[in-house]
Amino acid sequence: MLDDTTVAVPNHLEAFWLPFTPNRHFKREPRLIARAEGLHYITPDGRRILDSAAGLWCCNLGHSHPAVVEAVRRQIGQLDFAPSFQFAHIGAFELASRLRALFPADLDYVFFTNSGSESVDTALKIALCYQRAIGQGTRTRLIGRERGYHGVGFGGMSVGGIANNRKFFGTLLATVDHLPHTLDRERNAFARGQPKWGAEFADALERLVELHDASTIAAVIVEPVAGSIGVYPPPVGYLERLREITERHGILLIFDEVITAYGRLGKGSAAEYFGVVPDIVTTAKGLTAGTLPMGAVIVRRQIYEAIVERNPAPEWMIELFHGYTYSAHPVSTAAALAVLDTYERERVFEHAAELAPYFEERLHALRDCPHVVDIRNIGLMGAVELAPRPGAPGARGYAALCRGFFEEDVMFRITGDTIALSPPLVATRADIDEMIARLRRVLEKLD
């Protein structure tokens, strides 16, 4: 029998089809994790792997925080499941109220999901439903952005703009168009925080309005900071201009904050950080600090009231035909409430804001490493972009990932040849120093 600290390594690895992973290579050289505590993953043979990625942008409190662990244990023994179709449990209402208080302006109503992908598809459906509810049924077009990542549902893939996430799956949603991405290395390479140049990229929305007519466009969805593609902070003035254009044309603005919400920028949301209030916000990841699957879509009061309060159908009829079996799952809800309590009690957002300038300085110190062509950062998000190997894009980034795990005991994210860092928000300066030192050793060995 295994004790609490021992995990058996499986004799074969064939059955598990890993997501977003080169399975053939992985199963020859598996990178296996057995336990986690604090800022470290622990392998089956006892090596401690420094987590510089907060898992997948989500473990904001590090791993196995005692307050969250206890809340989950307590909840699963009290109420393991309750349906949210026609019934509800008290914790769901408490969590929704807490989120209403966390997000700015009149972002007052919360629809619970189980992941960022589900949050995005939910937000897109709410946007379409809202336009229909206010008599704008011709507004069915959705606008995304090149290189944007909005999960892997068919709606999210359609508005997303990463080619490999789209090209294998057919035409997807038909009435979709895309804004240009905002990366401009020629003018903004090695920018610190928001790039100076690029607000004019938002003007492409005016051209799409001219092409399609505003009366056909329901919503625009963007990541305030494009994360999964390799950390593209918005140029100064870009989000403000996008907000002004959408408001003028009656188009809803959706912020995909699956990565940026819950402290990644040192605030509760990117909407608060940038001072730009969208109509809908999608979230997940940091809501439970990665402990259990959960997402939330937060909408402005006018959207909820149009769909629900002013619905002309009889009161006993459903207003929005949408939902998930595990919407507001009681155990996930308990984890989220414990995480929000911990964020507040331990001043986690404030600590992240105070740590961000130091993270910026240490990250940009890698500029002299081999193959580095750009470094980008904002809050506790950072990226080091490498020149690709001739004829083999992505190979150098993958080599860095493997070398980091096997030789330097450090985990980070890669997107092609870009290395992304998103430290747990509870990291210290010493932790940042160690992450950067290990990454430097990886970079200096790359060919």
Instruction: Name the residue with tokens 């979709």.
Output: 176
- For residue 96, which of 304, 274, 291 has the smallest C-alpha distance? 304
**H/E run at residue 375:** strand 372-378
- For residue 348, which of 115, 105, 67, 75 has the smallest C-alpha distance? 67
Residues of the chain with pLDDT under 70: 1-11
pTM of the model: 0.96
Which residues share a beta bridge with 295?
113
- Length reported for the chain: 447
**Cβ 231 vs Cβ 420: under 8 Å:** yes
pLDDT value of position 1: 30
Residue 256, classed as helix, strand or coil, is: strand
Domains of the chain: 23-64+347-445 (3.90.1150.10), 69-345 (3.40.640.10)
| Two structure tokens written together for 259 | 């990565």
pLDDT value of position 7: 54
- For residue 223, which of 176, 173, 183, 170 has the smallest C-alpha distance? 183
**Cβ 421 vs Cβ 48: under 8 Å:** no
Q: Is 181 left (phi over 0), alpha (psi -120 to 50) or beta?
A: beta
pLDDT value of position 3: 45
| Two structure tokens written together for 254 | 């959706």
d(CA 124, CA 336): 24
pLDDT value of position 118: 98
pLDDT value of position 175: 94
d(CA 133, CA 221): 20
pLDDT value of position 10: 63
pLDDT value of position 31: 96
Residue 419, classed as helix, strand or coil, is: strand
| Two structure tokens written together for 386 | 């490498």
Alpha helices (H) in 191-300, listed in sequence order: 204-212, 238-248, 270-274
